Structure formats: structure tokens, C-alpha cells
A and B are shown apart, each in its own frame.
Chain A
């Protein structure tokens, strides 16, 4: 008899897990608050029974539901997010010290940046060598002398911490450009909260929402306009952390924009929207600063915004963080920070750095050379050097004799390129491996953001990265293979800040309300491709024999089959079959369904277009929709089954967009794309299968392609005849598959989308739609001609072009001046 493990005894399981856990005395869980850990494990046991592996799967599934993913550079698809079911617990008192330490650091960095990009006194007075600054690829000289709009260089920073054997926290690195991970911290919290629903209340876990609200408010307060428009500037969907960026944009109510979406004119920044150019006041940028503006930095950047830096320099756009902040990230800088802290703030660093020796100074270089075997060697400024085997830090002890000699020689020529650092032993925390808790070394990334008063707020918790191997050095070197939620807990109850107290909920905000042209373009084409795939599947299914008409399908006459084949060949789905024999036809259908090479516009190719486009608008699609779109192309069972399963998927997607998407402009473009595509498919089908003299097979096929067999049979008991078929499939405005219905919907959408001028005059695409409607509405089935259907088809093409011209980016290929060959 099966037991009910979930009800068995959570306390017993939790106790047993803890007793069996192999973590040593310096392990974060062993050394921490045991009662809190037991409470957490009890919550876990309450949902997972005695099976920790089950708990892990469960939290992973939640992460997948939330839509968390990440991409390894060079890989085509996203990977599932590896989140551990066991959060890292940190007591409030211990956390308070981390909080103070991170805020102190962030203030110190701001002071140093103000100096380096201002008067440069620190260098002139000899507190910092100029080389330490110029060695960083993130020192952007063009920005010297330009004060950052809003007054600060830094608005959102992260600090990587390691926990030493005696529980002390030390700084491993600083993230000052565009720290990755805040969105993942948020997603980890959501996934773990869904699994351990009772934990938050039981341990008084502090929430993340107020931190994000403070950041957004701080950014808004820095803008010149009172109701600013703020964007999150992404490098695009192929960036490894694009899913995180999409999630953050959605969570914070920021406009997710790419460089192409933006234009800088007359020292102001704008986003290209369906309503024309709209001012942008601030950007949270996730783009490498050197790619931001081809006119200011790298003129080869094609993803930046020409003139952005001029708008910034004129004070018209706030950038978080200001470009150039990364100059303080280099490992070499850590060697100077302790002295700078005492000099500039009069206090020691609350969170010490790991000991660092920069070889650009003679004494330090000697020390590193002498102590090579006991140190970690790395590039001082993150660039590739001639003396180290790779880009990653390497332990001196791991170098061969020859490598060591080569390094010492290279260090003699260019000592400024190297730092030596002490090797830190990281303490462990539990992670679930092979259904047990196993200790693994971890690092903690802590985030801080400025609030509206310019003060630093630290996210309570953060993002724990857990090393893949028991070797503690691995985590220092950035190989995190698991992530965990970080819960700051304490005796004081946490005030609910959001409307849904059960989980760390979204801070409700209105969307900025402007639809970027690129997004409109994406939604329009997503609609068209999905509809096109569906129409093509219908043709394949009829051809293979799947009509509800028992006489159709396999028994279709050769003439009708030949027309179906023509449709697919004409659409570019597959090359024409050598004959219409069953075997050739099946092979032909398989190609039309699945061909992925040679440029055939097969269903699979169209599906891939749809996936690609959806990937670029992830922030605006629901997780359910993304899951359906991202699902692998059906590959099991027979061709007809596969076509059927894909058609059902398309129906589910259509259902989601009809029933679950808000009636926003984005939805209108999506539906407009579907309507135009469907209208063209019907106009073509009616011309081919509904011509004067069409036989029974043709007309039945037309009903199948128009998805109207059942409606027809309910309406006409007498059998299939041409005029009633044409009326139902083409002209009946009450039939949602009919041409007339599409034409009306198109006209309606275009009437409701924004126009550029409020002079009451119709725009070109609206005129096209009205004329289209006037062509179709008065028609009678008995007198409907092929010429008219052809004209409708062509007008639909013009309409689609007019929509594109009016609303979408018409980016001409940028040419580049320059290319001067110097003699």
C-alpha cells in the first residue's frame, strides 16, 4: 500500500535530512540558526515528503512555469534555470552588516568615479597610478568632464561575496556596469515561494518588492520630466541573460527596447512607436558601454544609438549606470580600495576585499613573483594577456614549470597586466544532489540601488551561486552550476507590501503605454506566421485525407489533389512531386511539413520563424504562450498525427491570444496579422476550389480549408452546392472563418490603432482597409468572380505593405562613412 509521504511527518524527515547532512562546522547551514533551517526543511518535507529529488524537480518546474531560462553563448536555445530547492538563510543581524558594507562600497565607488571623470585629483596627487585607470577597457576618456545627468554615475550595483571558513564575508568582485542576476534572484524567490509557501511567514523573510520599487522610483526621480518614460536597453534576444532582462522589464514596468527602437535627435532620446517618436527620459542599460553610441565610442557598433551620448551629455537622458563606471571593476583596483576607503571616508571597509597585489608597482610585482605558487593569478584588467594560459584566473600552483617561467617573463615585460590574489577558501551550503543534501561551495551576489533620495537600498537576499564541484576555488572562478534563493530572516514580522501576500508579488504598475514599432512588427508577423502555418497544415491534412466528409481525402479526385499540391508548391513549401501516386504524395507532404533546409517554406520553417519572432518579444507574451511556441516540433507517430497535434497546438495558441491577451495595441497587431493572412488564404482557396463548374471534391475541399464543413452541414441538409458554399466561406460576415469577417475585423483594427495627426483624416492603411471592405461587403455569392477574389488578394498585399510603412521600423541598411585607406 502506498504511503502518503507528504502527510507522514515533515518534522521527522527534516530532522533526518539535517542529521545526515555532511556539511562541516563551517558550513553556512551548520553554523547558522538551526531552528530556522529545520523550519525551512519541514516546509520542504511538507510538500516533497521524504524525497528531496522530488522537491528539486518541483521548484525547477515552477521556475520553468515562470519562464526563467538562460542561454549559453553559442547555443541556439535557452536552458532551464537551475534553481536549488534549498534557500540560503541569513539572519537579520548578520545581514545588516552586509547591507552597511555594500552601501559603503557603493558610496565609495561613486566618489572615486566623480573624481576620475572630473578633476582627477586622486591620480594627480599620486593616490592612484594613471595606468590603473587607463588599463581598464571601461575607462571612457570621451566622457571626462561630462557630469552624469541626475547627479550620479551609479544607480544599480552588485557585489560578489564569499563566506570564509569562520563565517566572515569578503568581497570577491564588484559589478558596476550592468549587473546580471537581480531578475534571477526575483525568479528564484518566486519559484521557491511557490514550493515553500509557508516559509515566508514562518521565518519573517524580508521581501524583494520594496527594493525594486525604490530603484524604479529613484530612476524616475532623476529624470527631468515628472512623468518619465523609462526603458530597459537590451542587446537583444541572443544575449545570454535576455530572459532575465525581459522578466525585469515586465516586473518594473519598463519599456524593453533595443538600439534600433531608439533615435537621438537634437540631443534628445526617442523611442519609435506606432504613435510616432516618443521621448525617453532614462535607460537602464544592459548593453556594453562601448557599444552604446557608434559616434562616441566604437564606430562599428551596429546595436547602439548614434547620438545617445550627446543626449546624455546634454542632460536629457539618465543612464543607469553611467557609461564608464566599469573602470572600477578591474581586479587591480581591489589593491587600492582599502587605502582609498580610509583616505576618502575615514573608515575601513566593512566588507574587506580579498588580498590583491597589482604587479604594476615594483614591490607588489616582486611579492607576486616570489609567492607565485600560493596565489591566484589573473589579468589585472580582464583582457587577454600574453602570460596567462587563458582568460580565467589560474592558481599559481596549477601552472607547469614552463608556464610559470613564461608567466614570469611576460610579467617582466608588462607587469601592469597582472594581479596576484590570495586563494580564498569558501564555506559551503547544501544543495540537492542524487536525492541527498550535499555541501558545495557558494558565492553570494548582493544588489544595491539608489532610492529617490539618492540613498542606497540593498536587496534583502540576493542570488547564491553554488559551485558544481566540491573544489572551493571553482566558485571563485565563476563556475556556478546551481543557484539558490537567499532569505533574510529575523524575529520581526515583515509588513505585507503587496496585494498578494502569499508570494513575493509584482509591484503593480501601468505599462508605459507606448508600443515600440519593433514590437508591433513582431506581433504582426507572429500572427501572420502562425496563421500561415495553420493554413498550410489544413492543406496537408486534406491532401492526406482527414476530412470529416467520408468521401474526401484518400478518395479525392486527381484534379482536386493536383490543385492542393499546387497550393503547397506555390507557397514554396516543397518541390513538386514526380507523380500524384500515394507514395510520392506522402513524401511530398512530409517535405512540406518538415523540410528545414534549402529554403523551403515548410510548416517547420514557418514555425521556426514564429518562434524566432516570439523570442524577440518575450516580455509581452505570457509564459503559457511562450511554452506552446517553444515546444519542439512534433516528431512522434505518423505524419497525419503529427500534423494533427501541431494543428491542435496552433488552435491552443490562437485560443490564448483570443481569450487571454489584453486588448492592447500589441494584440491588435497580432490579430491584424492573423486576419490579413487568413483573408488571403481564403481568397486564394475560393478562387482555386470555388470556380464556376467546381466539382464536389473541390467544393468539399473548400469547406475543409475554410474550416466550415460543420457549419455547412447544419445549414444545408441537401448536400454541397457551389453558391451556398461560396456564401458561407467567402461572404457570410457571421462566419469567423469567412473572408467578409476578416475584412471587417481588419477595418476595425485599423480604425482603433493610433494615428499620427488628430486632424480626423484617414491614413493610407485605413483608406486601403475601407476600400477593401467596400469591395467585399456588397458581393453576392451567385455573381462572385475569380477576378474579384484576385483583386482582393492583391489589395490585401498592398494593405499589409501600408501597415508596415506606417507602423514598423523602416530601417535602411546603415552604410558607414570612413573606410579611408591611409597611405
Chain B
């Protein structure tokens, strides 16, 4: 599966335009042959303000049937992979070339306050997946939690500028939490990571989303990539070499969704590539589904995000 999109012209601002070649390989090895598998692949990056997918190719080995899924939750490209022949291993390779033209947001005096953002979101008449309404509520993997709500409240005074409050909370989480891949698993609930003050990007993002939603704000879970190698003279970002997760806060109709990365304590800008956006991990999981087999499975993931020289 491969295609090239027609390219509309990008904003003529060379300052933060980046092009990336992304290779994301997921390999499963099964103890016993798997007779039957159906998976949802959410690997193709979506088009999103400030980013455009120039080309994309998905390959699966050994070959399975890949078709678009009928029922999609929204801000994710879902491909359905069907394996009907017995396989011992499965390699899914996703290659994308993406152009990013996204400036670092700068809070302005006329940005809405958090109270205004909450009221605007509640009154929204946008039922689409990109509207704020769906992200106001707790979701199955990110329930409301009083302890996290209390922790986050300090940064979320209702009258505060929404963007300033958002980045302040992201930075505080980055300061207070220890990045520790051994501390949590993919299904560790937010309150547990919060109790430990440890975890990975998913835990950081989930804690922040819990706090924002408890304050009545629309917050979404974004998954994607950040560039593997830093520009010369800068430090390497945490979360390269793998898929990354961060937070989107809706800041009113004029600002739209603003990305906040609590793992690195930074804004989403030209180092981030959005793949999918959802209420929580369940809606954006890069690979999930049902596999029928009786043995154990092992999984390896590698991600490479290389900036293209102009």
C-alpha cells in the first residue's frame, strides 16, 4: 500500500519547516504458529494543522490482507490487517515522509482564560472528532481521579491564560516526575504512575490529561514521534527511538488544539509528528487486535525519525 499525496503549498515561513523520513517497524514473534489474526493498525500519520503527509507506505510480512477499517473513531487512520495463514512471526513496516510547519506557540494577552475555554467547550456545537466536546469527559483508560486533580489544580486557576497554564502544568510534571521505563507498563493506570511519580511518556500524558479534564478542560491524547537526533548543540529528546505520547489542550476556536509534551516539558512544535489523536490510548494504539494462538508472543519496536536535509 503506497501513495503520494498532492501537496498544497506550505506557509512561506522557512523558520520552522521540517521534513522527516520516518521508519517504524513492529515485529512480533509467536511461540506457536498463529492461525488467525485481525489487527487494527493506526500507523499512518494524520494530516493535522501544521503537518502534512507527503508519502506513505505500509508493508506487512508475511503478506496479509490490509484494508481500511469500516468503523473509525476519528482522528486516526485505521487499517485492518487480516492474517488467515499460520504465521510464526509478523513484521509491520510503516514508512512516512512528513512535512512539519509548526511554530512554537507564544501565549498572547487575548488568549482565552481556562474558565472561558471550559465554557466554550461545554457549549460547542461541533460533534466531530476534532471538536472539543468528546475530550471533556473521563474515558475508559483515563478516569477522573481526585488526587491527580488536586495536584494539577495549582496550575489551573480559572482566570489564567489557557496556554500559560498548559505549559506550566507540563513543565511541573516534567520536573516532579522521574522518567523510568521500568516503573510502569502499558496498562498501568494514571493514579498508579502518579503515586510513584515515575513512568514513561504515556504515564506523564495520562496524568496531565486527568488533571486537565478534572478542571473541566478538553484534553486529548496524542501519539506520534519526535525526531531521533537533536539539531547540533542541543540535547537529545526523551522518547526518541520509539513512539511518543503527549497532550493536546483545546484553547478556544481561535487557537484550536495546542500540543504540550509533559515528558520533555515543551510545546509541540516542529520536532513532533502527530500520528493519531484520541480520548486515550485505546483509540490510538498503533497496533491492537485479536490474535488466536496458544504460545507466548514477543514484540520489538524500532522507530527512526530522520530530518531531511533541504
Contacts and interface: CB of A to CB of B under 8 A. Distances in A.
16 contacts: A131-B123, A134-B134, A134-B136, A295-B38, A295-B69, A299-B288, A306-B289, A386-B144, A416-B137, A816-B288, A818-B288, A822-B201, A822-B242, A822-B243, A822-B245, A823-B241
B137 A313 contact: no
B43 to A, nearest CB: 11
A310 B301 CA distance: 29
B290 A814 contact: yes
B159 interface: no
Interface in A256-272: none
Interface of A: 116, 120, 123-126, 129-131, 133-135, 141-143, 146, 294-296, 298-299, 306-307, 309-310, 313-314, 360, 362, 381, 383-386, 413-416, 811-823
B289 A294 contact: yes
Given A383-B138, A822-B200, A823-B201, A816 B241 contact: no
B292 A823 contact: no
A817 B28 contact: yes
B288 A307 contact: no
A384 B136 contact: no
Contact of A815 (B34, B133, B202): B34
A795 B134 CA distance: 61
Interface stretch (B15-23, B105-113, B279-287): B279-287
Interface in B107-154: 119, 121-127, 129, 131, 133-134, 136-138, 140, 143-144, 146, 149
Q: Which of A309, A385, A811, A818 neighbours the largest number of chain B CB atoms within 10 Å of its CB?
A: A818
A822 B71 contact: no
B297 interface: yes
B74 A141 contact: yes
Contacts of A385: 144
Interface residues of B, number: 71
Contacts of B149: 386, 413
The 5 closest A-B pairs by CB, nearest first: A130-B133, A142-B71, A823-B242, A818-B288, A134-B134
Given A124-B127, A817-B288, A134 B137 contact: yes
Contacts of A415: 122, 216
Contact of B181 (A126, A383, A811, A821): A821
A819 B290 contact: no
A488 to B, nearest CB: 41
Contact of B70 (A123, A313, A386, A413): A313
A487 B187 CA distance: 52
B289 A817 contact: yes
Given A295-B290, A815-B34, 13 more contacts: A123-B125, A126-B125, A129-B122, A135-B136, A135-B137, A141-B74, A298-B282, A310-B69, A384-B143, A413-B216, A819-B299, A821-B181, A822-B202
Contacts of B80: 295, 310
Q: Which of A134, A146, A381, A416 neighbours the largest number of chain B CB atoms within 10 Å of its CB?
A: A134
A823 B290 contact: no
Interface in B201-248: 201-202, 214-216, 223, 238-239, 241-245
Given A819-B186, A822-B202, A386 B146 contact: yes
Interface string B18-40: 00000000101010001101111
A815 B293 contact: yes
Nearest to B224: A822
A360 B122 contact: yes
Contacts of A134: 127, 133-134, 136-137
Contact of B72 (A142, A819, A821): A142
A298 B73 CA distance: 12
Given A815-B293, A823-B241, A130 B125 contact: yes
Given A817-B28, A821-B200, A141 B134 contact: yes
Contacts of A130: 124-127, 131, 133-134
Interface in B160-191: 181, 185-187
B30 A295 contact: no
B291 interface: yes
Nearest to B188: A821
Contacts of B126: 123, 130
A413 B214 contact: yes
B129 A141 contact: yes
B289 A299 contact: yes
A358 to B, nearest CB: 10
Given A134-B133, A386-B146, A818-B285, A812 B122 contact: no
B256 to A, nearest CB: 16
Given A310-B71, A823-B244, A124 B301 contact: no
A815 B70 contact: no
B39 A817 contact: yes
Contact of A143 (B28, B71, B185, B239): B71
